[in-house]
Copies of this chain bind each other. A is one copy, B any other.
Amino acid sequence: MSEDYDFRVASLGKATIPSPIKMSPVAGDNLADYVTDEQRILYDLHVKPSERTRQLRPEEMIEIAGPRKEIFFHPSHTKVGIVSCGGLCPGINDVIRSIVRSLWYLYGVRRIVGIRNGYKGLLPEFSYEDIPLDPGAVDDIHQMGGTILGTSRGGGERTREIADAIERMNLNVLFTVGGDGTQKGALAIAEELERRGEKVSVVGIPKTIDNDVSFIDKSFGFETAVARAAEAVASAHSEAHSTVNGIGLVKLMGRESGFIAAHTALAVNEANFVLIPEVPFEIEGPNGLLVHLRKRLETSSHAVIIVAEGAGQHLLEGSNGLDASGNKILADIGLHLKARIQAYFDELGIETNMKYIDPSYMIRSSKADASDAFYCSRLGSNAVHAAMAGKTKVLVGLVNDCYAYVPTELAVGHRKHVDPEGSLWRDVLIATQQPEVMTNG
């Protein structure tokens, strides 16, 4: 499978300026070291006992993130822009803060601007002013959820206009904090600038609360999201447990991937049914959810259901088009389930107490927990190292527990999914004891 990948990172040119960061160039002296472009890790580490040799190709080796001994941009001449796009996610401010502080303190870059309200801030019809950024401006922003830059959906497809704006602003570096659509846009912008002969480094910090970025172990904000989601599920359990035939139904994020739902179920261990986009299910019929839910109530008189927002879309009517980020507008599976469950038990004359919880905005706007704060801090500084070294069209993230640079082109366009045959989903099935198959076929 990995044969199709090419993990080699694009560069604006040879890095020849000595880094202002003073580090040890040699190993073994007990002093922290620069990272060289030659330091790589393998992506695929699965192996069979019978395997005796493995062929290794350069393109399947992943570059390790970190400060390079030589950099491409002269710090005092460098102007940097930061833009945040798409929905909120815990940790955006932490990433912005880390980028600004790393640029300022480590490299001595003094010209840093925040672009307001996502890509829209680069479009001609909006007249948002940029936000000048320095360590004082970002000192306490990690204490707050949201993004101090503002955000919006869409706009990234207007490649030429954005490239115009970047030229006008004389940016040398653009950091894009955003999801799949944002990074796709960033790639097109970088290519447009390349065509124009501009040496602009475009470095992405993938932001997706759903944790569905390919090749990246986890996206920032994901652990905080699970922690908040776990509180919502614990609430649903308290409610369900305290009433006769109480049903707690919690809708969580997860447009195409059920990671939040699966992790939350294993973190709380009170859910009886977890419904995710990757695993088809039916509501009606002899092997559908409703029948299994009834059985659960008969034996335990309460039940908790977690449903990812993208689950069961085939059960809902018609397409809903795309939103400004290019994401499909999903039909609301949560409200649909709520209505169907109530109708089903009403018809049966069984009294139930349905408590429906949709904590999405409370999760998205949460400030980052410590583990995400740690992660965002390191993502930010490693993104800065990439940019200053002249790398471009690249994302920074954890790969096999190692901070690494992954070509944007490789990561965008297909999402990471919960594997129905993998260990995560297996452990969810085990923990919930839900039927593995809830279809009637």
Contact = CB atoms under 8 A, between A and B. Distances in A.
A64 to B, nearest CB: 8
A146 B238 CA distance: 5
A378 interface: yes
Nearest to A145: B238
A112 to B, nearest CB: 17
Interface stretch (A167-175, A182-190, A417-425): A417-425
A103 to B, nearest CB: 12
A52 B49 contact: no
Interface stretch (A74-82, A406-414, A428-436): A428-436
Given A56-B47, A266-B374, A140 B140 contact: yes
In the assembly, how many copies of this chain are there?
A: 4
Contacts of A342: none
Contact of A244 (B117, B374, B431): B117
A66 to B, nearest CB: 6
Interface stretch (A22-30, A199-207, A281-289): A22-30
A146 to B, nearest CB: 4
B238 A378 contact: no
A35 B366 CA distance: 37
A429 B30 CA distance: 13
Nearest to A357: B361
Interface in A1-56: 21-24, 27-33, 35, 38-42, 45-56
Nearest to A90: B238
A269 interface: yes
Contacts of A337: none
Contact of A56 (B51, B98, B106, B362): B51
B150 A242 contact: yes
A226 B433 CA distance: 32
Contacts of A231: 362
A239 B30 CA distance: 34
Contacts of A41: 45-47
B150 A243 contact: yes
Interface in A252-281: 263-264, 266-269, 279
A239 B420 contact: no
B67 A49 contact: no
A120 interface: yes
A287 to B, nearest CB: 14
A243 B32 contact: no
A230 B421 contact: no
Contact of A378 (B48, B102, B235, B266): B266
Contact of A370 (B52, B267, B377, B430): B267
Contacts of A120: 244
A98 B266 CA distance: 10
A243 B426 contact: no
A143 interface: yes
15 contacts: A23-B426, A30-B279, A31-B437, A32-B420, A32-B429, A42-B46, A64-B423, A120-B244, A150-B244, A151-B242, A230-B373, A242-B365, A357-B361, A378-B427, A381-B430
Interface of A: 21-24, 27-33, 35, 38-42, 45-56, 58, 61, 64-67, 88, 97-98, 101-102, 105-106, 117, 120, 140, 142-147, 150-152, 217, 223, 226-227, 229-232, 234-236, 238-239, 241-244, 248, 263-264, 266-269, 279, 355-359, 361-362, 364-366, 369-371, 373-374, 377-378, 381, 400-403, 420-423, 425-427, 429-431, 433, 436-437
9 tightest A-B CB contacts, nearest first: A238-B365, A146-B238, A146-B242, A227-B370, A145-B238, A32-B426, A267-B374, A235-B365, A267-B370
Given A54-B56, A151-B243, 14 more contacts: A23-B426, A27-B421, A28-B421, A40-B46, A42-B46, A45-B402, A47-B56, A66-B423, A88-B242, A98-B269, A120-B244, A264-B370, A267-B371, A381-B431
